[in-house]
Structure 1
Amino acid sequence: MASLDHQTPPFFKRGLPPAARLTIYLALSFGLLVADLRMHYLETLRQALSVLSYPLQIAAASPADFVHKASEYFSGLVTLQRENTRLKTQQLGVASQLLFTAQLRQENAELRALLGMQTSLKVRSTAAEIIFSARDPFSRKVILNKGSQQDIEPGSPVVDPLGVIGQVTRVFPLHAEVTLLSDKEQAIPVVVERSGLRAVMFGTGNGLMELKFLAANAEVKPNDRILTSGLDGVFSPGLPVATVIKVTRDSAESFARILCKPTGSVERSGPVLVLSRIGSRQQRPADDESSDPRRASGGRIRQNKPPAEISAPVPAITATAAGSAPAPTPVQSAVPQPAASPARKGP
């Protein structure tokens, strides 16, 4: 009965109160911190624990890292697509501006060249522009945006900054038709700059030109410059026309075949100058036999007769018929008269 009456003291049954245990744990932790700060005895343990816990840290951070990187990837992809679209639009705008600037620069250079040519020429000129080609596919003709209202006349030469390109053939109130030098029916008198040889150049219909009716041994070679001669009274002399590209000489042929490439932009569009004609075409003087009795009908000079065959009494007869005394003429004085024969005596 005495053993049944024994009970555990309340102190051991309840243990330390929570406040006491907290105080003990805080004191112990503080002591360990101070000891580790002074002696560093937990450094090795700390490193070992960090190595062991690193995979757990990576595994724990992987989902969040994956979500973060995936969101950055997709947001960056959308940003790049938007920026790419913006840059493409900007590139197209810049490309169009560059093309427009290049076109303006080229047009400015052509206009400056035309202005320089206009100031150098001594004839009146009108600026115009080629707007389109003629409808006839078998001819080389273009249409200008100037006509009779701008004082454009038929037959006027048309040049560009590089040289002659053609001649005005038809004029309308608001536009004019120009036949290019490469047309088969176009011809222009020219001169070879190097040798001074005069010739006539004809179009071939395929963008080239040909010097015709030159002898096989004519002094012409490739790269020779061909200029206008001005003999037709239409084109000013000295304007560039073409450059010789090929010379074919055949001993069996009387003439050489000389192909030339036009200097001007014959087959292209652009600003041009319409020049006024330099003057009326000078007519070739007609042969007049009355001015020189020695000229025959064919233009040849008749050969003079020997002095002995000249009849001396002709001027005297003419003078007698006129009722005046015969006078000695230079022909009479220059030709010795035969001596008078003695009179015969009667039988």
Structure 2
Amino acid sequence: MLEDTRSLRFFNRGPSAVARLIFFSVLSLCLLFVDAHYRYLESTRQVIAVVIYPFQRLTALPGDLWHGAAEYVSLQRHLVAHNEQLRLQHDADAAQLRQFEAMLNENAQLRGLLEIKQRADYTVQAAQIVYLERDIFKRKLFVDIGAQSGVEAGRAVVDNQGVVGQVTRTFPWLSEVTLVTDKDNVVPVQVVRNGLRAAVFGSGNISEMELRYQPVNADVEVGDELVTSGLDGTYPPLLPVAKVVRIERDPAYPFAHIVCAPLAGVDRHRTLLIVSAVPPLPARPPANAAEEGVGRKKSGKRGYR
């Protein structure tokens, strides 16, 4: 057994590790010298590089995947945060834009009110809407001027587009305004096209009024504009009130069903004008004056006979 081990060591014996290190070091230096001066191993190097390139990419793949995943997650977080910031900015800009649009509309309405105030033959007072009537079935609102500012019940209320309503009650610093669309409100009007006199009634609906008691054959057409006639002593004449939008004529009924739409911003504007004074109408004659006149005529005729 000992002899077999000694014979195996004898036949497997070769150069020592130091000798092999020196040999391969000298060989490497020679190859480096030859390659540096004569470029003999350039093609060999390229072939080896091509052969080992897939292995290099394979060994670098886990690192590349990890780096790509980390970069994707970071980019995703940045995009989410940026999108959230843009969304908040968009909401803020949209709100500001709506405020600007509201201010532009209000400025346009105020300019219209100023033009009315400058060209009107009657005096007006500007008033701001304070709040609306709590009862949803009543078309009323309250403005910020009252008896202390000279406002009286019965005064007309208008905006830059037409008649809004009428002052029905006054308080020291507030006034109640009943809109033209209230079911108890009536406005004497006339048709612009032909001068036909009529009365338009509120329907209780904020967007509808009715031209009542007109015969079936009345000369009223869809699109006709109705203005105040000024015969009631409350509303100044020729103020826009409504426009005819629908007519139903049924021979079975004596009157036509005429639906109108108010022209004023009864549910939109915040600033209104209260007509402070209207040119007074001549006083009505006494109720018995006509009877006395008829009696005198009859007595005169009898004496003549």
Which structure has the bigger radius of gyration? 1
1:27 CA displacement: 5.0
| Cα distance in 2, alignment partners of residues 146 and 270 from structure 1 | 14
> Is the Cα–Cα contact under 8 Å of residues 155 and 277 in structure 1 kept in the other structure?
no
Aligned pairs (5 A) from 1:215-294: 215-286=215-286, 287-288=289-290
Are 2:183 and 1:184 aligned?
Answer: yes
Whole-Å Cα distance in 2 between the matches of residues 17 and 194 of structure 1? 120
**Cα distance, 1:16–1:175 mapped onto 2, change above 3 Å:** closer
Distance change (3 Å), C-alpha of 1:96 and 1:310: closer
* SS of residue in 2 equivalent to 1:241: strand
TM-superposition CA deviations, 1:177-224 (whole Å, max 9, x none): 011111122111111000111112221222322222333222110100
Amino acid at match of 2:242: A
Letter in 2 for 1:199: A
Q: How far has the Cα of 1:292 moved from its partner?
A: 6.8
Distance 1:101 1:72 in 2: 42
Would the aligned equivalents of 2:124 and 2:277 in 1 still touch at CA under 8 Å? no
Structure 2 distance, partners of 1:113, 1:62, is 74
Distance, in Å, in 1 between the alignment partners of 2:197 and 2:298 is 29
Q: Once the 2 structures are TM-superposed, how far is the Cα of residue 280 of structure 1 from its aligned partner?
A: 3.2
Amino acid aligned to 2:56: Q
The residue correspondences of 1:34-113 to structure 2 (distance < 5 A) are 34-36=37-39, 42-113=41-112
* 2:255 counterpart SS class: coil
8 A contact 2:106–2:269 mirrored in 1: no
Calculate percent identity across the aligned residue pairs. Answer: 39
In structure 1, what is the Cα distance between the partners aligned to 2:240 and 2:82? 54
Distance 2:152 2:222 in 1: 35
Paired positions, count: 287
Closer/same/farther in 2, CA of residues 294 and 134 from structure 1, 3 Å limit: same
Q: Residues 281 and 24 (structure 1 numbering): CA distance in 2 closer, same or farther, change over 3 Å?
A: same
In structure 2, what is the equivalent of residue 141 of structure 1?
Answer: 140
**Aligned counterparts of 1:88 and 1:247: Cα–Cα separation in 2:** 49
1:33 aligns with 2:36: yes
Query: Which structure shows the higher helix fraction?
Result: 2
Distance in 1, matches of 2:28 and 2:200, equals 119
Shift of 1:98: 1.2
Deviation at 1:250, TM superposition (A): 3.2
Q: CA deviation at 1:285?
A: 3.1
Code of the residue aligned with 1:149 in structure 2: it is: Q
Question: Residue 179 of structure 1 aligns to a residue in which SS?
Answer: strand
Instruction: State the distance in 1 between where 2:202 and 2:55 align.
Output: 92
Looking at structure 2, the residues matched to 76 and 111 of structure 1 have their Cα atoms a distance apart, in angstroms, of 51
Q: Give the residue type in structure 2 aligned to 1:35.
A: Y
- Alignment CA distance shift 1:279-1:16 (3 Å): closer
C-alpha distance after superposition, 1:30-62 (max 9, x if no partner): 2233322xxxx6454333212211121112212
Are the equivalent residues in 1 in contact too, given 2:156–2:166 (CA < 8 A)?
yes
Q: For residues 238 and 285 of structure 1, do their structure 2 counterparts lie closer, same or farther at Cα, with a shift above 3 Å needed?
A: same
Closer, same or farther: CA 206–295 of 1 in aligned 2, 3 Å: farther
Conserved? CA contact 2:35–2:42, under 8 Å: no
In the TM superposition, residue 289 of structure 1 has moved relative to its aligned partner by: 5.6
Of 88-97 and 26-35, the range deviating more from structure 2: 26-35
Q: Is the aligned partner of 1:129 residue 2:132?
A: no
| Structure 1 residue ranges without an equivalent (≥5) | 1-11, 312-347
Q: Residues 209 and 296 of structure 1: is their aligned pair in 2 closer, same or farther, counting only changes over 3 Å?
A: farther
1:219 partner letter: D
